[in-house]
Amino acid sequence: MDGMMGTVGTAVGMFAGTNVDDLIVLTVLFLASRAGGRPRVWQIWAGQYAGIAVLVLVSLVAALGLTIVPDDRVGLLGLVPFALGVRGLLRARGTDSDDSPAVATGLLSVAGVTIANGADNISVYTPVFRTIGAGPVGATVVVFAAGVAVWCLAASWLGSHRRVIAVIERHGRWIVPAVFIAIGTVIVLESGVL
């Protein structure tokens, strides 16, 4: 039971940490839907589910490909999200972050935005999927499915509060890199590679 709770906790942390940027994108999409009717609410939900499903599938395939890498070296992949986090902190420090999320207009473009935002997801999910068994992978996928629903509901709510959006946009550039650094550190430390 403790093992399952640990798996669920890790999955929740992975999903939240790798999808903070998606929360901002989804919020903007829900705002656009309210303002102009596009994309439709169902397209946002379906596009987000489709995009996350593709990212999980790519991560699973990549994890299977890693079976040729010795177990004691897989933990080094934790350096990827760690490096992304450091790079993100350096970028956040050096700019006012005028990057605005792309606004999609339909199901495929919502899925495309989710996938395009997903390099970080793949870099985090792949080493984790490589090091856990089939049962924990299944539990993780279920948590991710629930996470998409929570994200869509939260973004819909946030999309009706412009002040909340301003706070997320202002601090999100610091939160996301910090979470990546934490995830990378956990992967490296728990792998025993050091």
- What does the alpha-carbon distance between residue 66 and residue 127 come to, in Å, rounded to a whole number? 8
Helix axes 162-191, 79-94, angle to 10 degrees: 140
- Is the model's pLDDT at 98 over the cut of 60? no
Parent domain of 171: 2-191
CA gap 10, 58 in Å, rounded: 19
Task: Tally the domains of the chain.
Answer: 1
Of 100, 109, 122, nearest in space to 48 by CA:
109
Please tell me the pTM assigned to this model.
0.70
How far is it, in rounded angstroms, from Cα 133 to Cα 87?
31
Q: Which two tokens stand for residue 36?
A: 């102009």
CA quadruple 151, 157, 160, 165: dihedral sign: negative
**Phi/psi class of residue 79: alpha, beta or left (left: φ > 0; alpha: ψ in -120 to 50)?**
alpha
pLDDT tens-digit readout, 137-164: 999 999 999 999 999 999 999 878 767 6
**Using CA atoms, how far apart are residues 88 and 184, in angstroms rounded to an integer?**
13
Handedness of CA 92, 94, 98, 104 (dihedral sign): negative
Average confidence (pLDDT) over 184-192: 72
| pLDDT tens digits for range 36-92 | 778 899 999 999 999 999 999 999 988 887 666 565 666 676 676 677 778 878 877
The yes-or-no verdict on residue 181 having pLDDT over 90 is no
